Amino acid sequence: MTRLARPLAAAGSLVAVVAFSLLHARANGYDWVASSRFAWSLSLWLLLLVVSYGQGIPDLVRRRKAAWAAATSSVVVSVGIISFIQLWVGDALLPRAVVLGVAATSVPWFVFCSRLARTGELRAEDRDRVLVVADRSEVALLADELALHPERSASVVGDLHPAEARAQGGGERPLCAAAARNRASVIVLCREAQDDETIVAQAAELHAAGARVRTLSMFYEGWLGKLPLGELERVSLLFDIGDVHRARYQRLKRLLDIGFGLAGLVVLAALVPFVVLGDLAANRGTLLYRQERVGRRGTRFTILKLRTMRVGTDSSWTSEDDPRITPFGRFLRRTHLDELPQVVNILRGDLSVVGPRPEQPRYVTELVEKLPFYDVRHLVRPGLTGWAQVKYGYAGDEHDALEKLQYEFFYLRHQSLTFDLRVMGRTLRSIVRGAGR
């Protein structure tokens, strides 16, 4: 239902824009398609899509009251932006009746789509009932991951240690019995279970009966959007990477980077005066912060950011409510505006829009020694945002760096323009919801 709710939300708002525009055109005797109002009507529709997506419509809103609040705020913000543009241009580009009509119909439609997505999510939880054959600590970790960062709705309904899942004498089949008892629809096998022929034979029987069977690594990839390092060997990371092995993707991504960088320069130029005023009020010191980072193939470059910390503080890991961050700096971080000067790095070729976030050289040296395969992330350009960033957030220590690395490997394996756009969309949501640190 979630996949259906997304196009329905877009189609419903488009129908509203077209219907009210045509009604107004017919009532006032003009050709809507041939008029300048056609483009502005579509602009209103695109605004509704972007703002509502940022608010989590339709798939991130969990409760009815939250759905009404998100839908209403999305429409109000969209109408406010289009109205501001009309005032700035000095002409009524869109008739008031059209704007109000679209607003009045879009709010309940977005609520309906959000509830539809929620209904589908609940049904998906019933469908994806997971039985895990692994060590208890691994099962607990997997259950926590499904509760916090799922890509597909599922719940762990049972677990067996590999020693408990082995077929016993007398025809006893513990794995089949546990699957029937828990009505499991997905069977997950750890590496030890995969090496046991009696467990694999039971899994094959369950597979023939309609259950989906996955290795632990495959489940993490399909349901959680990450590659678990504990299940990987070096050879398993020798997959094709878009930035390395596909020339067409490299060219198209670079064009996307340049377009984004040029647009970002315009936004940066417009925001600098306001940032200067904010710095004078609650963030005194230099405007920009420069720091050396490690880029593609281990090259070093200087990254640019709007300064958010007090002058003279050290560059150690940041944390929630870090006392080094100034009040205005905290606002810049929450809105991700502190990252905006990095459009210069994008145009230089130091960064891409999407990729693993670059780290300081001293941290890279430490992490390469402590984390397996950490150097693989440097095969591509680092990014302004990334899959690990939207899934996990900022890294505050080595444990966080390990978690993010698993998401980065998933991104490298599935690197594509479609995936890049998906990451950019989720970043937009993060900005709208103020999820920066």
Condensed to tens digits (0 to 9), the pLDDT of residues 259-280 reads 999 999 998 988 888 888 887 8
Within 8 A by CB and 6+ apart from 42, the residues are: 17
Q: Is residue 31 part of a domain?
A: yes
Q: How far apart are CA 2 and CA 289, in angstroms?
A: 42
**CB–CB of 165/202 below 8 Å?**
yes
- Residue 223: what pLDDT? 93
Specify whether 93 is located in the same domain as 135: no
Q: What is the token pair recorded at 148?
A: 């916090």
Specify whether 422 is located in the same domain as 273: yes
401-to-60, 117, 375 alpha-carbon distances in Å: 26, 33, 13
Residue at which a domain ends, from 123, 146, 162: 123
Strands 288-294, 300-306: parallel, antiparallel or unpaired by DSSP?
antiparallel
Query: Is the pLDDT score of 285 beyond 90?
Result: no
Specify whether 254 is located in the same domain as 371: yes
Q: pLDDT higher for 281 or 352?
A: 352
Phi/psi region, residue 169 (left: phi>0; alpha: psi -120 to 50; beta: rest), is beta
Specify whether 214 is located in the same domain as 260: no
In this predicted structure, which of 154-163, 278-287, 394-403, 428-437 has the lowest mean pLDDT? 428-437
Which of these, 7, 33, 9, 8, lies nearest to 21 by C-alpha position? Answer: 33
- Residue 2: what pLDDT? 63
Domain range enclosing 380:
242-432
Q: Is residue 437 part of a domain?
A: no
Specify whether 133 is located in the same domain as 258: no
Specify whether 189 is located in the same domain as 257: no
Determine the length of the chain. Answer: 437
Q: Is residue 236 part of a domain?
A: no
Q: In sequence order, what are the beta bridge partners of 293?
A: 301
Q: How far apart are CA 102 and CA 80, in angstroms?
A: 13
Q: What is the token pair recorded at 401?
A: 């760096």
How many domains, in total, are found in the chain?
A: 3
